[in-house]
Amino acid sequence: MKKVITFGEIMLRLVPEGYNRFTQADRFLATYGGGEANVAVSLANFGIDAAFVTKLPTHAIGQSAVNDLRRYGVETRHITRGGDRVGIYFLEKGASQRASNVIYDRAHSAIAEASADDFDWETIFEGYDWFHFTGITPALGENVAAITLAALKEAKKQGLKVSCDLNYRKKLWTQAQAQETMSALMEYVDVLVANEEDSEKVFGIKAAETDVDLGEINHENYIDVAKQLQARFNFEKVTITLRESISASDNIWSTMLYVDGHAYFSKKYNVHIVDRVGGGDSFGSGLIYALLNDYSNQDAIEFATAASCLKHSIEGDYNRVSVDEVLALAKGDGSGRVQR
């Protein structure tokens, strides 16, 4: 069985009940999540041997985060323990024309204050086939960016495939910081996951004549974006997620995979959103699963897109769906009829 390992921050997620605003809330639902942790959980649900690497405190909240990963079958033995804080993020879920809002409380978290000595990448990577990270992790600080670079160098030394979800977060760093840091990391990446906003904000590459807010997608321009990304960084594969936002509650969701000069577009899904957080991570995990299982390029992008579509119907960061459910949707069964 192929083995995947991811590296990043897992946070405590606090959300008001239903669609209440922060100022209405008198209680918060507590769960866990974070880009690379979400990918590991999704892959474990698909039957992949998945591990997650981070640093967490030894206290009960840190242990609770570890236990949460373990309940889904994610390997946690490479998690370093220490530090004082588990990062927190507050999510106010949007509805209709009111956008979602995220407030971070992650400064001085255990992973944000980690050092290179906390991770023996040579040992950690033994036996693994694929390494995944996102642009959120190096944004946590120069020390974490340096740890990520060390991980990438060792991953390539040991022959692992490497994927990266660009995931630009303006609340964590500036565009200039992101461009400088991420450009240096890209030489180690085989498969890039991006969207129209991230490619522009981080690398200055934009799809012309496209306005996702107006529902206008020009396929040729996105192919050009993928070509530019591949030419600049020599990626094996570039994927671009194409989210057309009708409102906070309804999106049109599709994606593109660009390989060897050819573009493969998925079918489009009209998505009514229950929870969109983790949608990109579920796409990334679906793509990794499909590529590890030697799906054709078209089948791989269809599987990944269907997995992400289903995630939008699930509360929380994690995508709690099976391979069979994803395949059924990818093959056209999107009716939502009761399964008996």
Confidence at residue 338, expressed as pLDDT on a 0 to 100 scale: 42
Q: Decide if pLDDT at 208 tops 80.
A: no
Average pLDDT, the chain: 92
Query: 294: phi > 0 → left, psi -120 to 50 → alpha, else beta; which?
Result: left
Give 173-200 pLDDT, tens digit per residue.
999 999 999 999 999 999 999 988 899 9
DSSP code, position 215: T
Question: Domain ranges in the chain?
Answer: 3-330
Q: Quick one: 98 exposed, middle or buried, by C-beta within 10 A (0-12, 13-18, 19+)?
A: middle
Q: Which CATH number fits domain 3-330: 3.30.420.40, 3.40.190.10, 3.50.50.100, 3.40.1190.20?
A: 3.40.1190.20
- Res. 207 pLDDT band, cuts 50 70 90: confident
In this prediction, what percent of the chain has a pLDDT beyond 70?
A: 95
- Res. 69 pLDDT band, cuts 50 70 90: very high
Tokens standing for 251?
A: 């999106």
Give 327-340 pLDDT, tens digit per residue.
999 998 665 654 54
In this prediction, what percent of the chain has a pLDDT beyond 90?
A: 82
Q: Decide if pLDDT at 38 tops 70.
A: yes
Q: Decide if pLDDT at 56 tops 60.
A: yes
DSSP code, position 21: -
Confidence at residue 278, expressed as pLDDT on a 0 to 100 scale: 82
Mean pLDDT of 316-321: 92
Give 115-167 pLDDT, tens digit per residue.
999 999 999 999 999 999 999 999 999 999 999 999 999 999 999 999 999 99
